Amino acid sequence: MRGLLLAVLLALAPAPASAAIVDRVAAVVNDEVITLSEVYDFAGDYIEQRAAAGPESRRAAELEVLDSLIQRALIRQEIVELGIDVTDLDVDRAIDDIARRNGMDRDQLRDAVQAQGMSWTQYRDEIKEGLRQQQFTGYIMQTRITVDEDELRDLYNRWLADHPPAEVLDLGAYLVPLPPDADPATVEAAIARAEAGRQRVAAGEDFVAVARELDSGAFAAHDARIGVLKDSELRPELAEPVRATPKGSTTPPIVTDAGVMVVYVFDRRQEPPPSFEDMRDELEQQLYQDLIDDEIEQWVQQARRQAAVEVKLPPPQ
Domain ranges of the chain: 6-145+288-311, 167-270
Query: What pLDDT, on the 0 to 100 scale, is given for residue 13?
Result: 42
| pLDDT, tens digit (0-9, with 9 covering 90-100), for 26-39 | 999 999 999 999 99
- Average pLDDT of 293-312? 93
Annotate the chain with DSSP letters as a single string.
-TT--HHHHHTTPPPPPPTTPPP-EEEEETTEEEEHHHHHHHHHHHHHHHHTT-HHHHHHHHHHHHHHHHHHHHHHHHHHHTT-PPPHHHHHHHHHHHHHHTT--HHHHHHHHHHTT--HHHHHHHHHHHHHHHHHIIIIIGGG----HHHHHHHHHHHHHHSPPPEEEEEEEEEEE--TT--HHHHHHHHHHHHHHHHHHHTT--HHHHHHHH--SHHHHTTTEEEEEEGGGS-HHHHHHHHTPPTT-BPPPEE-SSEEEEEEEEEEEEPPPPPHHHHHHHHHHHHHHHHHHHHHHHHHHHHHHHS-EEE-SPPP-
Mean pLDDT of the chain: 89
Q: Which CATH number fits domain 6-145+288-311: 1.10.4030.10, 1.10.1040.10, 3.40.50.300, 3.30.420.40?
A: 1.10.4030.10
> Topology of 167-270 in CATH?
Chitinase A; domain 3 (3.10.50)
Q: Is the pTM of this model over 0.85?
A: no
Write the pLDDT tens digit of every residue in 30-82.
Answer: 999 999 999 998 999 999 999 999 999 999 999 999 999 999 999 999 999 99
Average pLDDT for residues 199-222, to the nearest whole number? 90
